[in-house]
Structure 1
Amino acid sequence: MNVQRAITAPQPTTGLSPVEEMRLACLMQTIEQNRFLPAPAVENVFVGDGDYRAIGVEFLGHLVRTGGLRRHDRVLDIGCGIGRLAVPLTQYLDSATARYEGVDPVGEGIAWCARNIGSVYPNFRFCQLDVAHALYNPNGSLRGDEVVLPFSDDSFDFAAMISVATHLPANEIAAYAREAMRLLAPGGRLFVTAFLVTPGDAGRAEARPRFVRGAEAGSWYGDVSAPLAAIGFDPGIVENALEEAGLRIERVDLGHWRAVPSTHYQDIIVAVKPGARA
């Protein structure tokens, strides 16, 4: 794979018509202003800084515009956290034809989601995955590089890994890529966010995080005292993990964490399982 070409080539659009774009923008605004939708207490949000509802709505836009998410898709949210993406998806996905499955190692987040989202939206389900993680689930019983998700083959049309690859070593990213390949139906799409540390990024004074070389080959740490708090990789490592699993890279869009103009913070990779999309 020519990684540099994949990053810099003109990016394809998802084909939203002006009317579809207007409808999406109106829906996003409505969701952000709807204070009747569930939201956890601020002190319980463990999925990152910023406004819980606004960031969830922003990612809904990225999934539709960049990832090609459709209203009737069967969605797998790997690392669903405390429902930041699930909440806006309750308003976007078709309640009669779509379904959503969220998995995460943090039991408190899964419990909150099941209580506040799954109890109201029956096509939304949540499951704790007891995978070990130094920060989020240190006593987990499952190794991250041997993860097997509790779903049958070809059972999803769309999978998301938002702020997941930014907290995993490369071998665990590869394990999730293999599971995504197994679980996606032909033509299914995987939306991943990551930190792809391209030449010059680590030296930018304005970059956040400020990465330094990590102990793992090709890795970068935002905090050497807690490597998995924010981990980045040389270009090609995450992409190659997806391709080795059998997925095809469709687009790579760089984020503004490196202090360059972009519509999103982390870098985005969209990969597709070969075959015709149903």
Structure 2
Amino acid sequence: MGLKSLIPNSIKTALKNVIPVSVIDQLEIITGERDALTPPSRMIFIGDGDFRKVGKLTIDRMKEIGNLKSTDRVLDVGSGIGRLAIPLTEYLKTPGGYDGIEIVKDGVDWCNKEVHKRFPNFNFHHLNVYNKMYNPNGTMQGHELRFPFDSTTFDYVILNSVFTHMLEPDFERYLAEISRTLKKGARGYITMFLLNEESRRLNAEGKNKYDRHLTPFTDNTMVYLQDLPESMIAFDETYARKAFEKAGLTIRDIKFGNWCGRLNTVDYQDLIFVTKK
């Protein structure tokens, strides 16, 4: 029986006022709520569901339909707190490797402390990029960003729910940097929300999952919250395709998700599989 079933999160939150968080973190390991390669529950800031199961499912999907190879050098843009890096430690083999970049410093610090020390070919980098939702004190603008890597370094790029929280100028800049750092023929797995005739119709009909109705924000985007657009942003598909093409990235397949109320889909978000020209 894990700690979650013994002590509710509300009690754990109250305990933080009287017990060091390091003790609570250790209790989660002792009681079986998590292992050493799963971050403390208080630190997880990305996504819903079981941390380890969701991560493994996503990596399995990349292997099965995303053409991820065990010898790839992988760039994980928006590496969070290691949800994809951790299952990749069991898959990537020499000469493969991994670099993650993330704007939330606590996630980077934990990954370097717990993952990098066990797997030296897994490296995590903090980029102090401003994002109103995730890093409001960031000192760097996304549209001015340069990734800290040489050109043509990586075989594979991952962006799992990154463009869903990014405005247009940053989106275009990230695409350019992704293209610069990928080798020719490199592949990528990207999730986002795309606006097309079907998704716009379903949104207008109120079919969006979790009642997240989108409203126009710019000519090319719609958002869930006007005062916090980074919480959930969707891009016009035609605009997005042109942006990918301009960056030198070919979209070879899209598997549309159920975020807008579609049925019989692979995932919640739209899955985009790209190749570097």
Asked if structure 2 preserves the Cα contact closer than 8 Å seen for 1:158 and 1:189, the reply is yes
Q: Which structure carries more relative contact order (alpha carbon 8 Å, separation 6+)?
A: 1
Contiguous gaps of at least 5 residues in structure 1:
1-34
Residue 207 of structure 1 pairs with residue 222 of structure 2: no
Tell me the amino acid that sits aligned with residue 57 of structure 1. Answer: K
Q: Aligned equivalents of 1:43 and 1:221: distance in 2?
A: 28
Task: Spell out, residue by residue over 1:169-195, the C-alpha distance to the aligned partner (whole angstroms, 9 max, x if none).
Answer: 122111111011110111001221001
Structure of higher CA gyration radius: 2
Q: Aligned equivalents of 1:53 and 1:204: distance in 2?
A: 35
Give the CA RMSD over aligned residues: 1.8
Q: CA deviation at 1:36?
A: 4.5
Asked if structure 2 preserves the Cα contact closer than 8 Å seen for 1:204 and 1:258, the reply is no
Tell me the amino acid that sits aligned with residue 131 of structure 2. Answer: H
Which residue among 212, 216, 219 is the counterpart of 1:217?
219
Q: Secondary structure at the match of 1:92?
A: coil
Q: Secondary structure at the match of 2:132?
A: coil
Q: Aligned equivalents of 2:95 and 2:39: distance in 1?
A: 27
Q: Secondary structure at the match of 2:87?
A: helix
After TM superposition, the structure 1 stretch with the greater mean CA deviation from structure 2, 256-265 or 71-80, is 256-265
Residue 110 of structure 1 pairs with residue 113 of structure 2: no
Q: Secondary structure at the match of 2:272?
A: strand
In structure 2, the residue matched to 1:179 is: 177
Q: Secondary structure at the match of 1:151?
A: coil
Q: CA deviation at 1:206?
A: 3.6
Q: Aligned equivalents of 1:66 and 1:37: distance in 2?
A: 30
Asked if structure 1 preserves the Cα contact closer than 8 Å seen for 2:256 and 2:266, the reply is no
Q: CA deviation at 1:230?
A: 0.7
After TM superposition, the structure 1 stretch with the greater mean CA deviation from structure 2, 55-64 or 156-165, is 55-64
Q: Aligned equivalents of 1:186 and 1:204: distance in 2?
A: 42
Residue 75 of structure 1 pairs with residue 74 of structure 2: yes
After TM superposition, the structure 1 stretch with the greater mean CA deviation from structure 2, 212-221 or 157-166, is 212-221
Q: CA deviation at 1:204?
A: 4.1
In structure 2, the residue matched to 1:7 is: none
Q: CA deviation at 1:214?
A: 2.7
How many equivalent pairs are there?
A: 241
Residue 138 of structure 1 pairs with residue 139 of structure 2: no
Q: CA deviation at 1:85?
A: 0.4
Tell me the amino acid that sits aligned with residue 72 of structure 1. Answer: T
In structure 2, the residue matched to 1:63 is: 62
Q: Aligned equivalents of 1:160 and 1:201: distance in 2?
A: 28
Q: Aligned equivalents of 1:118 and 1:239: distance in 2?
A: 35
Q: Aligned equivalents of 2:209 and 2:166: distance in 1?
A: 18
After TM superposition, the structure 1 = structure 2 runs for residues 86-101 of structure 1, keeping only pairs within 5 Å, are 86-94=85-93, 96-101=94-99
Asked if structure 1 preserves the Cα contact closer than 8 Å seen for 2:255 and 2:266, the reply is no
After TM superposition, the structure 1 stretch with the greater mean CA deviation from structure 2, 54-63 or 159-168, is 54-63
Q: CA deviation at 1:225?
A: 3.3
Residue 271 of structure 1 pairs with residue 274 of structure 2: yes
After TM superposition, the structure 1 = structure 2 runs for residues 15-54 of structure 1, keeping only pairs within 5 Å, are 36=35, 38-54=37-53
Q: Aligned equivalents of 2:206 and 2:75: distance in 1?
A: 37
Q: Aligned equivalents of 1:214 and 1:45: distance in 2?
A: 30
Task: Spell out, residue by residue over 1:130-155, the C-alpha distance to the aligned partner (whole angstroms, 9 max, x if none).
Answer: 11111111121211111100000100
Q: CA deviation at 1:37?
A: 5.7
TM-score by length of 2: 0.83
**Aligned residues with identical type, % of pairs:** 34
Q: Secondary structure at the match of 1:91?
A: coil
